[in-house]
Amino acid sequence: MGVNLDLIKFSIGPIISPSHAIFSCIFFTLCFVGGLYFSKKTRIGGNNPRLTKDHPHVIMNRVISVVTTCIISFIGVWLLIHFSGGFKESMTILSEIYTTLVLLGFSLPTHPYHILNTFFIPLGLTMSLFIGPLFVKFLDKELPFQAKFNWRYDILNYITSLIGFRNLIFAPMTEEFVFRCCMVPLLALADFSRIQIIFLSPLVFGIAHIHHAWEVYVTNGRTMATAKFAIFASIFQFFYTTLFGWYATFLFMRTGHFIPPFFAHIFGNVMGFPVFNMAAYPKKVKKGPATNPSLYEDVGNSIYWYNANNGSKPQVK
């Protein structure tokens, strides 16, 4: 499993200055966002008005840019710890790199029990936060193994497309690597408190999404109405991504592993922002499936329901 950063802090003390840690986090963010607009050929709103963030050419070039940022961030963390004296003098470069990977949450569970903990329990916790939207999907019969769910169309075709790969795999993986795996260890080794790391570091994650306002503006007409909508949408996205960042950072710090926040990010992207449309469903649709008497015949025999319907089978299904 991952390394307990508190044990590292209290055993060797803070080895990175707070200013260096903060500067590094800002630098990683600038590399992450700036790289998306570095090339004029893939810059949204540039010389080619037909380019959008979903254009295959833009996606592929941004993949290269973000992978480069991930490499820069990893090397930055390693060098900062190295030149701050955080590694033992007897350690080889390979040992330092391995230790850095462990600090960043990349270690293999050695016991099946730990595999269960790492992969599934945090995911279950994340799913519980979406219990409302999941219930709506249940009512719409859009969950796996329900009538309106198709494995090939809803999963395979989408995830194997460039857009689906970006949204469900690449973006969660790289964002969690840079904004959680690379930033949290630096802040912890700079002796920031748990509360400071959990609630302040995701602000950088939220700010990194503000650039989407520009993309909304240039791809929807560059009008005053579009500008207002883009600003409102970016402010909303800032608060939503910051809120998720609090949760993802908490998961990373509690587990010390990359997988829990990565899975949480994937699931969050799959679900999207909750849509509060329960009022659109008739009352019997909302309460019927969860109280279907056939679910409880072996417990209470649903005697009151059958009695209320003159002994007939329940009509709500």
Residues 313 and 168 in one domain: no
Question: Do 186 and 262 sit in the same domain of this protein?
Answer: yes
Return the pLDDT at 243.
92
Residue 256 shares a structural domain with residue 300: no
**For all residues of the chain together, what is the average pLDDT?**
80
Q: Range of 196's domain?
A: 5-281
Residues 308 and 269 in one domain: no
Q: pLDDT per residue over 185-226, tens digit each? A: 999 889 898 899 999 999 988 887 777 777 777 777 777 877
Residue 179 burial by Cβ neighbours in a 10 Å radius (0-12, 13-18, 19+): buried
Q: Render the burial of 181-216: b for 16+ CB within 10 Å, e for the rest.
A: bbbbbbbbbbbbeeeebbebbbebbbebbbebbebb
Please indicate, yes or no, whether residues 16 and 49 belong to a single structural domain of this protein.
yes
- Cα(first)–Cα(last) distance of the chain, in Å? 45
Phi, psi for 202 (deg, rounded to 5) = -65, -15
By CB atoms closer than 10 A (0-12, 13-18, 19+), residue 3 is middle
Assess whether 277 and 287 both reside in one domain: no
Same domain, 233 and 311: no
pLDDT digits (tens, 9 = 90+) for 42-75: 666 655 656 778 888 889 988 999 999 999 999 9
Active site residues: 175, 209
Q: What percent of the chain has pLDDT over 70?
A: 78
Using CB atoms within 10 Å of the CB of residue 277, give its burial: 0 to 12 exposed, 13 to 18 middle, 19+ buried. Answer: exposed
Contacts of 212-221 spanning 24+ positions with Cβ under 8 A? 212/237, 214/44, 214/45, 215/44, 215/45, 215/52, 215/53, 217/45, 218/44, 218/45, 219/44, 219/45, 219/52, 219/53
Say yes or no: 129 and 272 in one domain: yes
Residues 224 and 298 in one domain: no
Percent of the chain at pLDDT > 90 equals 35
Task: Kindly tell me the burial class for residue 161, based on how many C-beta atoms sit within 10 Å of its own C-beta (0-12, 13-18, 19 or more).
Answer: middle
pLDDT digits (tens, 9 = 90+) for 222-277: 778 777 887 888 888 888 889 999 999 999 988 888 999 999 999 999 988 766 55
Same domain, 287 and 190: no
Q: Are residues 91 and 203 in the same domain?
A: yes
Give the total number of structural domains in the chain: 2
Q: What is the pLDDT of residue 288?
A: 53
pLDDT for 118 beyond 80:
yes
**31: pLDDT confidence band, cut at 50, 70 and 90?**
very high
Query: 163 and 132 in one domain?
Result: yes
